[in-house]
Amino acid sequence: SEGVPFLHSSASVVIERIVESRPDRYRSAFQLCPTEANYAPGFIRSMSELRDTGQWTPQSNRLVIARQNSWDFVDFGVEESFEKAAQQGWELHVVDIAQNDRSERWLEGAVRTARLRPAAVMLGSFFVDDHEAFFIKLQAERSTALRYAIYAPSMPGFRQQLGELSEGILWATTTGTYSDSIGLEFASRFKKRFGQAPGRSHAGIAYDRVHILAGAWMQVEDSNDFSRVTERLGETRYRGVNGSYTFGTPGNGTLAYESNSSDPSLAQAHTVFQIQEGRNVLISPSTYAVGTFRRPVWTELSTER
């Protein structure tokens, strides 16, 4: 209510809509990453790219998004993805999973997913435990589908918790630390300072957020002049370790490269990684890729029992 600048990285569609609906009240709120609505379209785009470039031969034209549906404030962009999937030759299915304190729901969801015999499955949850329960059961069901996760593998604990099961998993984040010289130098300094490598998402965006705010402060005489600080933040053009920042959406959100901007100097890439030999290897978009897709061993499993 006092106009204090609020910089966050919730990836929230809802928050951007609130800011857009009441700019007089919420114009000081800035979202430093594209929204979660990019996840389902990004999944479709990634699967089409792997198929069309000959890197992967799908076993069917079916794609599945398994999502927990207890959050009415989360929008993975699923509804608008049905038409996009059909246009690109896919048949999109959604497996809704009611979230509770037990993992059985995710186990049931994995069984339902395996029965559809999809070419690939995206898991719509931000939590490591959900991925562990779902993918362990999917493996037990001998599914050969490509496994595609969102955000959770950006945390180092993901690979530790899933162990060998994490090998070959594809995963995406709306804001990921790039593998270029800027990102690598940040990771090196972080490890030297804290004794361990940073995650591939929020560590970098927190670092960038401080620099963006400091840059706005440096352009005003008084950092407590919230109105002027907000104006300077709105003019942001910044290249950080997680890519480029421009608050160009109607709700003061960061532009997304390939989604609402074709200019990588102004927008953040929807980064796609694959876990290869225990490492997160950036494979898409090609502009920032440092590796290529490897076919996971489970895609060759026999479905016979």
Domain boundaries, the chain: 6-35+178-245, 37-173+270-298
Q: Tell me the pLDDT band of 298, cut-offs 50, 70 and 90.
A: confident
Residue in the block written with tokens 């361990």: 196
pTM: 0.93
- 34-92 pLDDT tens trace: 999 999 999 999 999 999 999 999 999 999 999 987 777 889 999 999 999 999 999 99
Q: Do domains 6-35+178-245 and 37-173+270-298 have the same CATH topology?
A: yes
**Considering the domain 37-173+270-298 in this protein, what is its CATH number?**
3.40.50.2300
Question: How deeply is 97 buried, as exposed, middle or buried, from its count of CB atoms within 10 A (0-12, 13-18, 19+)?
Answer: buried
Q: Tell me the pLDDT band of 104, cut-offs 50, 70 and 90.
A: confident
Q: Is the pLDDT of residue 237 over 90?
A: yes
CATH architecture of 6-35+178-245: 3-Layer(aba) Sandwich (3.40)
